[in-house]
Amino acid sequence: MTDSTDRPRSASGRRKPPEFRNMQVLRTEHLTPHMVRVTFGGDDLAGLVVDEPAASVRVLLPMPGTGELVVPEWNGNEFLLPDGNRPPIRTFTPRRAEDGELDIDMVIHEGGLASTWALQAPPGDPAAVSGPGRGYTIDPGASGYLLAGDETAIPAISQLLEAIPSAIPVQVHVEVATAEARLDLPGSPEEEWHLGTGDPGATLVDAIAATDVTDSNRVWCAGEAAAMHKIRTNLFKERGLPRSIATVRGYWKRPRTT
């Protein structure tokens, strides 16, 4: 079976992701104590075109322990290593892809494979990227935009702010772990930064619940999956707003405690 991209779908209906492109770390830079920008380079990146904000890419990292890059096989449903194990792949926002370079802004958090790697990734370290996955199409007729997210959503929110026409008013809510995690956002949106409470996304749930949203507004929001579920419940079930006005995406999952 094929789709409009001509990439085959498996029997389970999952489309084979684009092939991995090899790349290497050129440099890393701390944007905040909680966010490291990793800039990759490599000849293969010349063909990586990102033309929508808030798109995604899969980044394949070197194997922890050996530092070797092992390119996995697509089995029709997921990528697997030759030994059947899951490869070290994580999803990120391609913050800048141009001139054969790719910037990925990675949040630093405890116990994260990518996060731990980003803190010490030396120039020349190998990695690979597959994508991009679809981004967000701006509605030029929106009467206003509400953008919200935690630190993992800052790269996407920044791209959305760059893409939304300046005549459309934008309100932004960002939840950060500490005050130093705050970054300058593009343009001059009405912005509110919330200090996290230890319950990821809780301040975003409260902020959105307290914001007037109408059918003519558009909402984009991303962060911890359970918090995003509460935001969908608020917008679509409690307020009865049409699903078409809001894109609410779980970017990561807090581990279950029970």
Ligand X SMILES: Cc1cc2nc3c(=O)[nH]c(=O)nc-3n(C[C@H](O)[C@H](O)[C@H](O)COP(=O)(O)OP(=O)(O)OC[C@H]3O[C@@H](n4cnc5c(N)ncnc54)[C@H](O)[C@@H]3O)c2cc1C
Question: Which residues here bind ligand X, judged by CB under 6 A?
Answer: 56, 90-93, 105-107, 109, 111-115, 152, 155, 251-255
CB contact at 8 A, 102 and 132: no
* Minimum CB distance to ligand X smaller for 106 or for 204: 106
CB contact at 8 A, 142 and 246: no
Based on C-alpha coordinates, what's the Rg of the chain?
19
* Minimum CB distance to ligand X smaller for 93 or for 203: 93
Rounded CA-CA distance 235/243 in Å is: 8
Rounded CA-CA distance 104/138 in Å is: 22
* Burial annotation 170-195 (CB, 10 A radius, 16+ → b, else e): bbbbbbbbeeebbbebeeebebeebe
Please name the residue that has the structure tokens 């050129």: 26
Nearest distance in Å: CB 143, ligand X: 26
* Minimum CB distance to ligand X smaller for 150 or for 171: 150
* Minimum CB distance to ligand X smaller for 237 or for 256: 256
Q: Nearest-CA neighbor of 25 among 57, 60, 51?
A: 60
* Minimum CB distance to ligand X smaller for 163 or for 168: 163
Q: Nearest-CA neighbor of 212 among 230, 188, 234, 237?
A: 234
Q: Which residue is nearest to ligand X (CB)?
A: 112
Nearest distance in Å: CB 141, ligand X: 25
Nearest distance in Å: CB 238, ligand X: 25
